């Protein structure tokens, strides 16, 4: 169901009951454009479990610091071309089969 926010204010109690007990969701619109939704607590829990909360600023900074440490540790390693590595493995396999 779609409803304007002004109309929803006047019918809030009814809409909350429809959402809570009627397995419905309500799209709230402003000037004909969707702005928000009323959903049951059960539906909200499903959404929250499927979409973890955004990380905090401190969690983001910690993740960036960890990524920087990994990047620095990888810089000291010599990387082998994947095509060269595949050629070497093919050669070993051919030698083993011969």
Residue 11 is given by DSSP the state T
Instruction: Indicate if the pLDDT at residue 49 is higher than 80.
Output: yes
User: Where exactly does CATH 3.40.1620.10 map onto the chain?
Assistant: 2-50
What are the two backbone dihedrals, phi and then psi, of residue 34, each rounded to the nearest 5 degrees? -60, 135
Cβ count within 10 A of residue 65: 10
Going by the DSSP 8-state scheme, the letter that residue 5 receives in this structure is H
pLDDT tens readout for residues 72-97: 888 877 777 788 888 989 999 999 98
Query: What is the pLDDT at residue 66?
Result: 93
CATH class for the region spanning 2-50: alpha beta
Q: What's the pLDDT at 77?
A: 77
SS3 42: helix
The number of beta carbons lying within 10 Å of the beta carbon of residue 25 is 13
pLDDT at 33 over 80: yes
67/87 Cα distance (integer angstroms): 31
As a whole number of Å, the CA-based R_g of the chain is 28
Question: Quick check: 30 and 5 in contact, CB under 8 A?
Answer: yes
- Percent of residues, the chain, with pLDDT higher than 70: 100
SS3 state at 34 = strand
Q: What is the pTM of this model?
A: 0.51
Reported confidence tier of residue 52, pLDDT bands at 50, 70, 90: confident
């Amino acid at each position: 169901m779609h409803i304007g926010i002004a109309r929803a204010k006047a019918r809030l109690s009814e809409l909350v009951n429809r959402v809570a007990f009627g397995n419905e969701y309500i799209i709230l619109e402003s000037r004909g454009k969707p702005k928000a939704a009323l959903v049951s607590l059960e539906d909200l829990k499903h959404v929250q479990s499927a979409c973890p909360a955004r990380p905090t600023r401190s969690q983001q900074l910690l993740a960036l610091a960890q990524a920087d440490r990994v990047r620095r540790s990888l810089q000291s390693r010599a990387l082998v071309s994947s095509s060269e590595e595949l050629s070497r493995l093919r050669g070993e396999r051919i030698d083993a089969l011969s």
